[in-house]
A and B are shown apart, each in its own frame.
Chain A
Amino acid sequence: MSDITITITDREGTTHEIQAPTDMAMNLMEVVRSFELAEEGTIGVCGGMAMCASCQCYIRSGHELPEMSPDEDLMLAEAFYVEDNSRLGCQIPITPDLDGLEVELAPES
């Protein structure tokens, strides 16, 4: 299976270009954790249930992403530092059409 390239800007502002697998049923939050781009315990706190917003990120590229579920939408409604391009990383599965995706991690809150 092929990997895709994702550009992730961490909370310190450093940009990382990483290769993410599309065949491991991973989501964007898990990719960030597997490459240790955010401190353990500060991301994916709820484990990926769209219940904590610790994996909030800003989508910087024009990729078409899966539609937001009501869970994600309402969690973002209570998150901080939310922008129009905010999403929860745990709700974005890594698929081949996300090749070239550019994201920035939202501040810890």
Chain B
Amino acid sequence: MIKTDILIIGAGPTGLFTVFEAGLLKLRCHLIDALPQPGGQCSEIYPKKPIYDIPAYPEILAGELTEKLLEQCKQFQPGFTLGERADTIDAQEDGTFIVTTNRGTKHQAPVVAIAGGLGSFEPRKPPIPDIANFEDKGVEYMIREPEVYRDKNVVIAGGGDSALDWSIFLTDVAKSVTLIHRRNEFRGALDSVDKVQELKNEGKITLITPAEVKGIIGNDHVTGVEVHQSGEAPFVLETDHFIPLFGLAPKLGPIANWGLEIEKNAIKVNNALDYQTNIPGIYAIGDVNTYPGKLKLILCGFHEATLMCQSAYKRIHPDKKYVMKYTTVGGVQGFDGTKKEAPKAVVKKIE
């Protein structure tokens, strides 16, 4: 069981800044995110795109913002459960909550802050008839265990980085790799496109473009896919695995069943006070919440995180007196023993 003061669901910019604000109050944080890396949308969808409305940054790349937020909060030693989705929440008699992920990891905290953005990122599933019946029977939407594909025939569909990168990687593992894409052009990084070209020339990757998989063949396991190539009659390609890699899309997912008040795919909160939900002790901050006048902006998430932490402090330490201290005055004392503080003024007499 992982125990912490504030359990943050979602490691995007709002969740990461929460670690900093909580740390100033000497509260420890642990973050859960379905993605394998922190940053949320900023690292998953648009790391190379600029943002212009972060205060004091005339321009900053989304990926860079993530790095700076991690740097800013690192002395507060946040814990991470990455690549796992928060699935269930159970209120305990002592007022704490236990949150369990899809992989069974359990976390306990007196305060839960949902900073889940638009939800957890799930693979986009192509609308191919019967595809659901073949899930984990030869159809996989993400590659968890590359060894599964050793000496197997693999068909990958998609035109982005993950389709290209996994095609390249699996040439060393699988018996055969076929990449199918609806265009001759690929959206992925140039290096990867060049590498696939090279592997194609060496005969290590079979490229079928412009084409689309429109059917899956097999009884209790995939044995082939039906390929529709532009200008050709549809044909069946024998394969052991079909891996559609069409990127990820956020879905509110299991959080929708936590008993929270939901409106327009977002969690209703009290914005007059502390961004608490209808369940005391559970807060929602950043893009995942809604209230009159809500704006889904990173800078609004920062503000909401800051106020939420004050309320969390009072919940965790109901009897303690507390006044907010400016970091310039109080400095920043990390849990790792580091200390940042304003330099002391030098006093020197004039003789």
Contacts and interface: CB of A to CB of B under 8 A. Distances in A.
Of the four ranges (under 10, 10 to 19, 20 to 34, 35 or more), the interface on chain B belongs to 20 to 34
Contacts of A73: 183, 185
Interface stretch (B135-143, B228-236, B245-253): B245-253
9 contacts: A39-B265, A46-B45, A46-B46, A74-B183, A74-B186, A78-B158, A78-B246, A80-B124, A109-B249
A40 B187 contact: no
A81 B125 CA distance: 12
B45 A52 contact: yes
Category for how many chain A residues contact B: 20 to 34
Nearest to B182: A77
B265 A40 contact: yes
Given A51-B46, A109-B127, A45 B187 contact: no
B247 A78 contact: yes
B249 A41 contact: no
B266 A49 contact: no
Contacts of B185: 70, 73-74, 77
A49 B49 contact: yes
Contacts of A74: 159, 183, 185-187
B264 A77 contact: no
A56 interface: no
Given A46-B45, A78-B159, A54 B119 contact: no
Interface of A: 39-42, 45-46, 49, 51-52, 54, 70, 73-75, 77-78, 80-82, 109
B187 A39 contact: no
A78 B247 CA distance: 8
A101 to B, nearest CB: 26
A80 B127 CA distance: 7
Contacts of B126: 80
Main secondary structure on A side of the interface with B: loop
Given A52-B249, A74-B185, A109-B249, A41 B118 contact: yes
Contacts of A46: 41, 45-46
Interface in B248-267: 249-250, 252, 264-266
A34 to B, nearest CB: 13
B181 A77 contact: yes
A24 to B, nearest CB: 16
Which one of A51, A54, A77 has the highest number of Cβ atoms from chain B below 10 Å of its Cβ? A77
Given A51-B45, A77-B183, 14 more contacts: A40-B265, A40-B266, A41-B118, A41-B266, A45-B250, A46-B45, A46-B46, A49-B49, A73-B185, A77-B181, A78-B160, A78-B246, A80-B124, A109-B127
A41 B158 CA distance: 24
Nearest to A36: B264
Contacts of A70: 185
A41 B264 contact: yes
Nearest to B263: A40
B249 A45 contact: yes
A75 B246 CA distance: 10
A25 to B, nearest CB: 15
A54 B118 CA distance: 13
B44 to A, nearest CB: 10
Contacts of A39: 264-265
Interface in B125-149: 125-127
A66 to B, nearest CB: 20
Nearest to A79: B246
A82 B124 CA distance: 14
B187 A78 contact: yes
A78 B118 contact: no
Contact of A41 (B124, B127, B246, B265): B265
Contacts of A45: 118, 249-250
